[in-house]
Amino acid sequence: QVQLVESGGGLVQAGGSLRLSCAASARIFSIYNMGWFRQAPGKEREFVGFVSRSYAVTLYADSVKGRFTISRDSAKNTVYLQMNSLKPEDTAVYYCAATNHGTYDQQASYKLWGQGTQVTVSS
């Protein structure tokens, strides 16, 4: 069953912003670290960012540092990916995922995945 639900994707012009949401159950939100991945057409799925369950640490891929920000809202059991200064190369399906062990930037470490939300950035 789907236990993570992404939303907020869409079409935006280069330089614009979007905020993606990943809604989880209270149990998942309290137990798991959360990561964001993306997969562009013709490319492998790649790591975007990570936030620990305690919100003590956030980590980002070099390609999005300074532009993307991950946050957690415990009241809503939701993780956000704020994306600013979007570039055409950010176009991809974005996935939220949950892990409680393993390497934070490797997709094999993640136990639970959402269905993905499409982000398209035009020139």
Q: Count Cβ neighbours within 10 Å for each residue of 14-26 and write b for 16 or more, e otherwise.
A: eeeebebbbbbee
- pLDDT exceeds cutoff 80 at 53: yes
What average pLDDT score do residues 35-60 get? 94
Mean pLDDT, the chain, rounded, equals 94
Structure tokens at 100: 């409680």
What is the arithmetic mean of pLDDT over 4-24? Answer: 97
- Vertex 79: Cα angle to 41 and 27 (nearest 5): 115
User: What confidence category does residue 101 fall into, taking pLDDT thresholds of 50, 70 and 90?
Assistant: confident
Kindly state the percentage of the chain with pLDDT values over 70.
98
Judged against a pLDDT cut of 80, whether residue 90 lies above it is answered with yes
Q: How confident is the model at residue 1 (pLDDT cuts 50, 70, 90)?
A: low
pLDDT at 102: 74
Residues contacting residue 80 through CB under 8 Å, at least 6 positions apart: 19, 20, 21, 22, 70, 71, 72, 73
Residue 45 has pLDDT above 80, yes or no: yes
Supply the pLDDT for residue 37.
98
DSSP E strands, the chain? 4-7, 10-13, 18-24, 33-39, 46-51, 58-60, 68-73, 78-83, 92-99, 112-113, 117-122
